[in-house]
Structure 1
Amino acid sequence: MRKKTALKDIAERIGVSTALVSYVLNNQEEEKRVGKEIALKIREVAKEMNYTTNQIAKSLKTRKTNTIGFVVADINYRFTTGVTRAIEAECQKFNYTVIFGSSHEDPVRFAEVVNVLVNRQVDGLILIPVEKCEEQIEYLKQYEIPFVLIDRILPNVDANLIAIDNVSAAFQATRHLIRTGHKRIGMVTYKTTLMHLQDRKKGYFDALEAAGIRPDENLVKEIPDHHNEQHLNTCLDELMKLLPKCDSVFFATDTLAVNGLRHINALKINVPKRLGIVSFDASEAFELFYCKITHGRQPLEEIGRLAVNTLLDVMKHKKTKRKIMLETDFHIGQSCGEK
């Protein structure tokens, strides 16, 4: 049986101390002021000698598992896919493995997944919060478990946060509809207490007010169930009955936009001739539609990168306080009658 490579073997091959090899392979070369050339040489030789860390022994010694828990709201969301990729890629740079779990937008499930990850002794958590999860967040704070929230704001919870400016993004989307000649703008969103969707509604109303357009509550439709497409179809049917009094629709999420466009297409309502459309976020499904959909686009890679780096800072320095609000990109297509 082939002998397993040890730190001492690598050190002897290069002619350096075992401690120096340990610093580099534990990503401490900057902290310990190890030169870049020797650090690169150590990594090359370690790879050449098929060195692998004994993670169990290492975690017992350092009280670290080099794992990060990531709890998403729903694995089916495009946001989840994009930001997960970014988080995993950034974690790999620092030799961390990501363990995933989904709450399915359920606070009970959220608490269960968080507890499982904590019991697995992850070094920290990146969380997409759900409605009524504040108690679980306070539990993490009480026991000083490092965590970062992303995407969704909990107004009554003081925590490190990486999110986007939802008010600004929704304002921009609604203003674009106004600038392309639309005055009777409907909005389709979810019925929820989650602040990020409340902020999108605020941005919609702010844009109407700024343009001197009186808001009409009949044009705002709130879907009570995230997973019931029939509710969405019913709300759209109500809006479509108002044509031409309703001349456009702003969808508050990409999922609503994709399912909504499917129903609008089934009703044979032409976009943009009879109805202008803007989606809050992007979707690969838009490529299948007969005209390019105008949409906002969240900076998923940046959110993931900042989330990981913020969490690593929290793990090193408990008192880290960071609240970063990013802007969305706005991609102009043809769904509002753009020239």
Structure 2
Amino acid sequence: MKKKNSLKDIAKALGVSVTLVSYVMSGKEKERRVGAEMVKKIRETAKKLNYQPNYHARSLRNNRSQTIGLIVADISNPFFANMARTIEDEANRLNYTVIIGSSDENHQKMKKVLNFLASRQVDGFIIAATEGSEQQIQYLKEHYIPFVLVDRYFEDISTNYVIVDNFQASYDATMYLLEKDYKRIGMISYKSKLDHFKNRVLGYTEALKNFKIESGDKYLKKIRYSNIKDDIKKSVVEFIDKDKVQAIFFATNTIAIEGLKCLFDLGIKMPEDIDVVAFDESEAYNFFQYPIPHVKQPIKEMGIEAIRILVNQIDHKMRKINQIYLNANLEVHATNKIHQQ
């Protein structure tokens, strides 16, 4: 049987220490300040020698599985699919494997996924928490299990998280419509107690208030995730027939896609009849003649930060709380700016 090459063989081929090779092959080259040229040589030599890490031996030695559990709210949502891709790539760079589960915005399903991943002895979790999952998050915290919340957080539980400034992004999106001289601006969001959705609604109402429009929540519709198509259709029809809104702000890309379909089916022209803006991007927007203005979240940065915080917890048993707020920008196509004039 052909002998498997080890870290020692790579070190011998390059005339460097086994420790140096170990730093690079375990993804710790930046932390240990290994030069870029040396990193390149070590990785190329490892590839040439067909080096294969012995993860089983490493897990026995470190009492780790080198796996991370990722729980997203809805893997069919492009936002979470793209984030999962980033997290998987970054984890792979650090020699971790990611096991992904989707909760479908159901806290009971999230509990099952969490228990399943725990049974697989993952080293830590990255979680887009669902409404009603506070008890599960509190359990992880109290038992010092490494985890990071992403996209969502609970204001009453002090945890690691990576989120965007939902209030400011929503405020900016609403201001974009207000500055086009619209007075009757509707918003469709989820009927949810999650803080990030509450902050998006607050950003919308605060922008209206600052523009001296005292409509409050008059044009705010809250829909159920479990009945999204029917609720959105009802909301859009009410906006057109009853409220006579001039513009609609969709609080997520999923809501936006369903809402845009309704507008299209009803023969509504955008932006001539009703203008729109959406929170989150989607490739589906490309199928509409009117370039949909949308809030673009820094998905890649969110994923990288989440992995960084989690791996620091796992490797160094760090208990310091890291709470990261990132900015999300409003993307407006040049055509939209022409319509604004």
Which residue of the partner structure matches residue 128 of structure 1?
Answer: 128
* Correspondences of 1:40-51 after superposition (within 5 Å): 40-51=40-51
1:60 aligns to what SS in structure 2? Answer: helix
**Partners of 1:25 and 1:288 in 2: CA distance:** 44
Q: Report the CA distance between 1:131 and its aligned residue.
A: 0.6
**Partners of 1:223 and 1:319 in 2: CA distance:** 38
Which residue of the partner structure matches residue 262 of structure 2?
Answer: 263
**Partners of 2:36 and 2:336 in 1: CA distance:** 52
- Do the aligned partners of residues 263 and 312 (structure 1) sit closer, same or farther apart at CA in structure 2, a change above 3 Å counting? same
Which residue of the partner structure matches residue 159 of structure 2?
Answer: 159
Identity %, equivalent residues: 39
1:228 aligns to what SS in structure 2? Answer: helix
Which residue of the partner structure matches residue 225 of structure 2?
Answer: 225
- Do the aligned partners of residues 191 and 7 (structure 1) sit closer, same or farther apart at CA in structure 2, a change above 3 Å counting? same
* Correspondences of 1:61-210 after superposition (within 5 Å): 61-210=61-210
- Do the aligned partners of residues 249 and 119 (structure 1) sit closer, same or farther apart at CA in structure 2, a change above 3 Å counting? same
- Code of the residue aligned with 2:279 in structure 1: it is F
- Do the aligned partners of residues 33 and 205 (structure 1) sit closer, same or farther apart at CA in structure 2, a change above 3 Å counting? closer
Q: Do the aligned residues in 1 keep the contact of 2:28 with 2:94 (CA within 8 Å)?
A: no
Which residue of the partner structure matches residue 240 of structure 2?
Answer: 240
1:162 aligns to what SS in structure 2? Answer: strand
Q: Report the CA distance between 1:7 and its aligned residue.
A: 3.3
Q: Report the CA distance between 1:24 and its aligned residue.
A: 3.7
Aligned-residue CA RMSD (Å): 2.1
**Partners of 2:27 and 2:14 in 1: CA distance:** 18
Which residue of the partner structure matches residue 60 of structure 1?
Answer: 60
Q: Report the CA distance between 1:175 and its aligned residue.
A: 0.9
**Partners of 1:258 and 1:37 in 2: CA distance:** 47
Q: Report the CA distance between 1:319 and its aligned residue.
A: 2.0
**Partners of 1:97 and 1:31 in 2: CA distance:** 20
Q: Do the aligned residues in 2 keep the contact of 1:87 with 1:304 (CA within 8 Å)?
A: yes
Confirm whether residue 275 of structure 1 aligns to residue 274 of structure 2.
Answer: yes
**Partners of 1:160 and 1:194 in 2: CA distance:** 16
**Partners of 1:284 and 1:133 in 2: CA distance:** 30
- Code of the residue aligned with 1:272 in structure 2: it is P
- Do the aligned partners of residues 210 and 18 (structure 1) sit closer, same or farther apart at CA in structure 2, a change above 3 Å counting? closer
Which residue of the partner structure matches residue 338 of structure 1?
Answer: 340
Q: TM-score, normalised by structure 2?
A: 0.92
- Code of the residue aligned with 2:49 in structure 1: it is M
Deviations 1:165-186 (A, max 9, x none): 1111111111111110100111
Q: Do the aligned residues in 1 keep the contact of 2:158 with 2:321 (CA within 8 Å)?
A: no
Which residue of the partner structure matches residue 13 of structure 2?
Answer: 13
- Do the aligned partners of residues 204 and 34 (structure 1) sit closer, same or farther apart at CA in structure 2, a change above 3 Å counting? closer
Q: Report the CA distance between 1:252 and its aligned residue.
A: 0.6
Q: What runs of 5+ residues in structure 1 fail to find an aligned partner? A: none
Q: Do the aligned residues in 2 keep the contact of 1:271 with 1:335 (CA within 8 Å)?
A: no
Q: What runs of 5+ residues in structure 2 fail to find an aligned partner? A: none
